Structure 1
Amino acid sequence: MTLNIKVYSDYVCPFCFLGKDQFEKATEGKDVEVEWLPFELRPRPTEQLDPLNDPSKLAMWDGAIKPRIEAWGVDMKLPNVSPHPYTDLAHEGCHFAKEHGKEKAYNDRVYKAFFQEDQNIGDIDVLTTLAKEAGLDEQAFHDALAERKYQDVQRQALRHAYEEAGITAVPTFIIGNERIAGAASQEVFEQVIEKESKQKSVDGLRCDLDGNSC
Structure 2
Amino acid sequence: MTKDFYSQGLRGIGRRAAVLAVLLGAMIGAGVWPLPVALAGGAAAIALYALTRDRHPATFHYARSAAVIGPDWLGFVWVAALAALPLWAQEGEAGLHPSAVLLWPMAAAGLAFPFIGWSAESFGLSLSDGQITLRHRLWHRRFAQAEIVSVSPWRSDLPRWMRALAPLLAPASPGTAGALMLARARQGLRVELRGGERLVIETDALIPGAKALREVLQGRQRRA
Q: TM-score, normalised by structure 1?
A: 0.22
- Which protein, 1 or 2, shows the higher relative CO under an 8 Å CA cutoff with sep ≥ 6? 1
TM-score by length of 2: 0.21
Q: Which has the larger radius of gyration?
A: 2
Larger relative strand fraction: 2
